[in-house]
Amino acid sequence: MAFKTIIEPFRIKVVEPIRRTTREERDQALREAGFNLFLLRAEDVLIDLLTDSGTGAMSSEQWAGMMRGDESYAGARSFYRFEETVREITGFKHIVPTHQGRAAERILCSVMVNQGDIVPNNTHFDTTRANVENVGATALDIPIPEAGQPATIHPFKGNIDLAALEHVLATNAGGVPLVILTVTNNSGGGQPVSMANLKAASHLCRSHGVPLFLDSCRFAENSWFIKLREPGFADKTPFEIAREMFGYADGATMSAKKDGMANIGGFLALNDDAFAQKCKNLLILTEGFPTYGGLAGYDLEALSIGFKEALDEDYLRYRIRSVAYLGERLTEAGIPLVQPPGGHAIYVDAKAMLPHIPQHQYPAWALSLALYLEGGVRSVEIGSVMFGRKPDGSEQPAAMELVRLAFPRRVYTQSHVDYLAEVLIHVHQIRDRICGVHIKEAPEVLRHFSASFEPVGGDLLAP
Ligand SMILES: *Cc1c(COP(=O)(O)O)cnc(C)c1O
């Protein structure tokens, strides 16, 4: 008998209470936070889907591993365990630990990217884009056209547009220091990249002598989607698939706060000896000695175990299924989403849901505020607040206005997901009352983290 219910493949040993608040309290909290969900106190949030980054629950094995952490400044046993695990999965020669993904990005960009260069990517994540632009280069997003059509179903919507890539490489000889493929494509809806696309991108890069890097934060989820959706991979393990994916690249950056299943950590991995030496020198300057890179020995232990747990089939089946389940409930209720649902998150299409709010009044930002006000749910805008300000200071609306509901790993259960569905369906029913917002104050870069806002009419919901 094969039972159809996919269960959480763990039982709970430690619990952390979450706090209910009244609507009045949430209204007050929003005003105090300048209508910016990043500036809320986490205690005032009931279900926190701001990000899946560093918010997961560690396993009993990981906690046990932390007690074995070797805190030696140089040459710690925990580093060698970390290095061995990352090398086993990625196959790369040099493994450089960093405190999180953006540290790896900053080092990589400082070493490989120059002013005036172009860095193509399926879609740059916000920190990746900021790091590319910080050295004066252009971050070019070239996903396949389907990636920009939320309702279009495509099994590998994270794919890079190969014709566009070939064109950039052919017309900018010497001006493209590297190509990045983000797996899964976070800003583009958590959508996977196929092995065929990876292979073809790798071939193009090699024929132009340009290195290919993976932004590999969700390498395990991407492997699972390849196993489920790409012909020829059904009988391979996620580990084998991951290994093959990395095999098409020359290096990778990683935020181990995602598929490292830990609360902090990352790495930069690469094959090139000369670049690796430069990266390690810079690491010593700003992160730490190359055998800890800004991490504690116990973090390195938790990560060595976490990378393997992220590739466990029961875990991946449960994780991808719980996101898909929410996606199905919302789709049945007529809520416009990026289809099909991504690996780590649901992306609500706020442009389609709130056509009465123009893009310069940030519909996705307004929707994320309404979800908090009504249900205590925290999500994140991926739209014109995050991406609408160009490096020259001009405003240009983002291609899509999305609200991302990202699932922390191994944290919430089925009933939490049912509650979420209820909140979203309710907010969808009152969508005509949601008002746009404008920016009161904002910093020049990565403004979504700290800007303050005001509802256009003073109140977020019209009566
Ligand atoms: C989270 C993330 C990063 C940045 O990593 P941090 O650990 O937050 O610094 C880079 N790329 C992608 C795709 C991410 O999801």
pLDDT digits (tens, 9 = 90+) for 168-221: 999 999 999 999 999 999 888 899 999 999 999 999 999 999 999 999 999 999
Q: Give SS3 for 243.
A: helix
Give the mean pLDDT of 359-383: 97
Domains of the chain in start order, with CATH, are 23-52+312-455 (3.90.1150.10), 60-309 (3.40.640.10)
Atom of ligand 1 nearest to the CA of 100: 7
440's enclosing H/E stretch is: strand 437-441
* 459 CA → ligand 1 middle, Å: 33
* 70 CA → ligand 1 middle, Å: 26
Whether the Cβ atoms of residue 224 and residue 185 lie closer than 8 Å to each other: no
* 125 CA → ligand 1 middle, Å: 7
Please name every residue paired with 139 in a beta bridge, in sequence order, or none if there are none.
119
Q: How confident is the model at residue 357 (pLDDT cuts 50, 70, 90)?
A: very high
- Provide residues with CB under 6 Å of ligand 1: 53, 100-102, 125, 127-128, 182, 186, 215, 217, 255, 257-258, 266
Rounded Cα distance between 134 and 129, Å, is 8
Whether the Cβ atoms of residue 34 and residue 233 lie closer than 8 Å to each other: no
Atom of ligand 1 nearest to the CA of 104: 9
Which residue's CA is the closest to the ligand 1 atom numbered 1?
255
Predicted pLDDT of residue 68: 97
What is the overall mean pLDDT for the chain? 96
Q: pLDDT tens across 1-28, in order?
A: 789 899 999 999 999 999 999 999 999 9
Ligand 1 pocket check: which of 215, 217, 222, 386 to mutate, most ligand atoms within 8 Å of Cβ?
Answer: 217
CA-atom Rg of the chain in angstroms: 21
Q: What percent of the chain has pLDDT over 90?
A: 93
Predicted pLDDT of residue 27: 97
| Joined tokens for residue 24 | 């009045």
Which residue's CA is the closest to the ligand 1 atom numbered 8?
101
* 109 CA → ligand 1 middle, Å: 14
Q: Rounded to an integer, what is the distance from CA 185 to the centroid of its chain?
A: 7
Ligand 1 pocket check: which of 38, 52, 53 to mutate, most ligand atoms within 8 Å of Cβ?
Answer: 53
Q: For tokens 């309404």, name the residue.
A: 370
* 130 CA → ligand 1 middle, Å: 12
Atom of ligand 1 nearest to the CA of 182: 13
Rounded Cα distance between 167 and 148, Å, is 20
* 197 CA → ligand 1 middle, Å: 22
* 261 CA → ligand 1 middle, Å: 13
Whether the Cβ atoms of residue 409 and residue 307 lie closer than 8 Å to each other: no
Q: Give SS3 for 50.
A: coil
* 25 CA → ligand 1 middle, Å: 32
Ligand 1 pocket check: which of 105, 108, 123, 125 to mutate, most ligand atoms within 8 Å of Cβ?
Answer: 125
* 243 CA → ligand 1 middle, Å: 20
Rounded Cα distance between 21 and 38, Å, is 18
Q: Say what angle helices 195-207 and 238-247 make with each other, to 10 degrees.
A: 20
Give the mean pLDDT of 317-340: 96
Least confident of 47-61, 304-318, 327-341, 444-458: 444-458
Rounded Cα distance between 412 and 431, Å, is 26
pTM of the model: 0.95
Q: How confident is the model at residue 444 (pLDDT cuts 50, 70, 90)?
A: confident
Rounded Cα distance between 265 and 455, Å, is 37
Predicted pLDDT of residue 446: 82
Atom of ligand 1 nearest to the CA of 51: 1
Atom of ligand 1 nearest to the CA of 257: 7
CA angle (75, 80, 81) in 5-degree steps: 140
Q: Give 448's DSSP letter.
A: G
